[in-house]
Structure 1
């Protein structure tokens, strides 16, 4: 007879797995977590600031772009604002899962953001500013993904998904610029 408590399933040490799960204060973070949590949380807070600035930039562009011919562009700005907000939500949720505190402080938002805020007055400048910001976000996410490597698969997977959408946004802005 096998001792159920110490049996191994497909080579896994069930007893060690159960023992590692006992510190309930750590929530989703187990002893097997390989990454530097503080570093990951700091990176995610930088990305959070960037997404929040992007939401504000897209919203401003949506509300200030004028001209009947710009209706489809305004709609694109509004859709992107909503998608950037969804990214911010994912980032904030992951920061909390890692036992961190998401930084929504508006006083330091722009200085913590990778991308800049833009208050351009004409539609071409708005589109260009958004394309630059998307390219900044793509490169920032690429570097974060590279830095994380295989140490935090959940965060890496989330960032890959966000980066893919940022690439779509960049394509959209490039198409509008043409």
Structure 2
């Protein structure tokens, strides 16, 4: 059973600056987006095995971002 506070997962007793946490989470998701963009750019210009490898990495980066967004949203 998961207990959810009516005021959301961050309550007054959390003890950490909410704005700092939001800033860190924004930085982390921005890093994932930049990685995805970087690998996308390389995949566009790559061919053969290298392209398939980069496409695989792209899928992993997208999964990382999705996992992070799921964590933030829960």
TM over 0.5: yes
- Structure 1 residue aligned with 2:49: 72
- Count of aligned residue pairs for this structure pair: 72
Structure whose CA Rg is larger = 1
Residues 33 and 62 of structure 1, relative CA distance in 2, 3 Å threshold? same
- The partner residue of 2:64 within 68, 87, 96 is 87
Normalising by structure 1, we get a TM-score of: 0.35
Give the CA RMSD over aligned residues.
Answer: 2.4
Give the gaps of 5 or more residues in structure 1: 1-20, 98-178
Residues 47 and 22 of structure 1, relative CA distance in 2, 3 Å threshold? closer
- Structure 2 residue aligned with 1:61: 42
Runs of 4+ in 1 over 6 A off after TM superposition: none
Q: Structure with the greater relative contact order (CA < 8 A, sep ≥ 6): 1 or 2?
A: 2
CA distance in 2, matches of 1:74, 1:81: 10
3-state secondary structure, aligned to 2:53 = helix
Give the gaps of 5 or more residues in structure 2: none
Normalising by structure 2, we get a TM-score of: 0.71
